[in-house]
Amino acid sequence: METSNLILTEVKNQTGIITLNNPEKKNALTSAMLNQIILSLQDLEKEKVRAVIIRAEKGVNVWSAGHDIDELPLNGIDPLGQEKPLERALNAIQVFPAPVIAMVEGSVWGGACDMAITCDMVIGSPDCTFAITPAKIGVPYNASGILHFINRLGLSHAKEMFFTGAPIDSEAALHFGIVNHIVENDKIEEFTFKLAEKISHNSPLSINVIKEQFRILTNAHPITPNAFEHIESLRRKVYCSDDYKEGINSFKEKRRPDFKGK
Ligand code: YXS
């Protein structure tokens, strides 16, 4: 097993396994961890694995606490720009030539929730929960991320998750379409590895081209340059706002945010 200090990577029976490994920070998605995930996917592609499982250590109570809030920029830079490690990691999952399966135990927050639903399938334990939190922190989420949720959950469930920012439990996650299956904690590893093994016996070329068509078709939402510029100007106002700074600072100061709408 190859270990960079924030993730563990191994290959078993043509399945790559990436284990998030920063428990001190609740597997918060730091730039360093995200860059290691991207490099690990590149290595696993070279090994021609037939599936990848992204997981945390067995039995964690937090799968990932989401984007590292300490790394959210406060200087008027887009926190979710396409060049950022989180967006590059989400793209790396989408273009990986084999199915990527998120095996989730514990709670999933913010950008990690986007990462889980960007995977091709999610297998959750009964204690898994999912929350998309930009509204709680004052972050203007981006169009590509919102589209991931619309595609996975449909409009009404996606809106409920974004507007409340509240965690949903495994039953709701199954109902909303976030998870494919809920499997008991003591059986989830075997279930997920068997799913990967089932995939590994099929044609990798066929699966690759089917996965790429899923990606192209689900992202096929042409918008005009005006619409794109409108979105970006609205988002800029938010990540340059006092509320955005208040959301981040309130987390760091461990207090409830006091949003003023400006
Ligand atoms: O106080 P110390 O120094 O020990 O550090 C604490 C937490 O501050 C830290 N930590 C984080 N640091 C940076 N970014 C994070 N996302 C983050 N989450 C946690 O880790 C240490 C242990 O956390 P603690 O004491 O709170 O553990 P706990 O078991 O009591 O609670 C676990 C959580 C996950 C429920 C709690 O840490 C939490 O609510 N974390 C924030 C979850 C969240 O809102 N994530 C969204 C991040 S922003 C994001 O993903 C996108 C930009 S967006 O907002 O757009 O979705």
Q: Which domain holds residue 46?
A: 2-186
Atom 15 of ligand 1 has which residue's CA nearest to it? 68
Beta-carbon neighbour count of residue 230 at 10 Å? Answer: 12
Distance, CA of 78 to CA of 218 (rounded, Å)? 24
> Given 16, 66, 106, 141, which residue is catalytic?
141
pTM above 0.75, yes or no: yes
Q: Establish if 102 belongs to a structural domain.
A: yes
Output DSSP code: residue 30: -
Q: What is the pLDDT of residues 56-98, one digit of tens each?
A: 999 999 999 999 999 999 999 999 999 999 999 999 999 999 9
Question: CB of 44 closer than 6 A to ligand 1?
Answer: no
Whether 59 is catalytic:
no
* CA dist list (Å): 175 to 16, 235, 250: 28, 31, 33
* Ligand 1 centroid distance, CA of 26 (Å): 7
Whether 230 is catalytic:
no
* Ligand 1 centroid distance, CA of 198 (Å): 36
Q: Establish if 228 belongs to a structural domain.
A: no
Residue 151's identity, in one-letter code, is N
Output DSSP code: residue 69: G
> Given 66, 67, 148, 247, which residue is catalytic?
67
Question: CB of 90 closer than 6 A to ligand 1?
Answer: no
* Ligand 1 centroid distance, CA of 71 (Å): 12
Q: Establish if 253 belongs to a structural domain.
A: no
Whether 141 is catalytic:
yes
Q: Establish if 255 belongs to a structural domain.
A: no
User: Which regions of the chain are under pLDDT 70?
Assistant: 1-4
Atom 7 of ligand 1 has which residue's CA nearest to it? 25
Atom 33 of ligand 1 has which residue's CA nearest to it? 65
Q: Establish if 193 belongs to a structural domain.
A: no
Q: What is the pLDDT of residues 109-141, one digit of tens each?
A: 999 999 999 999 999 999 999 999 999 999 999
| Structural domain total, the chain | 1
Structure tokens, 134: 């930009």
CATH number at residue 149: 3.90.226.10
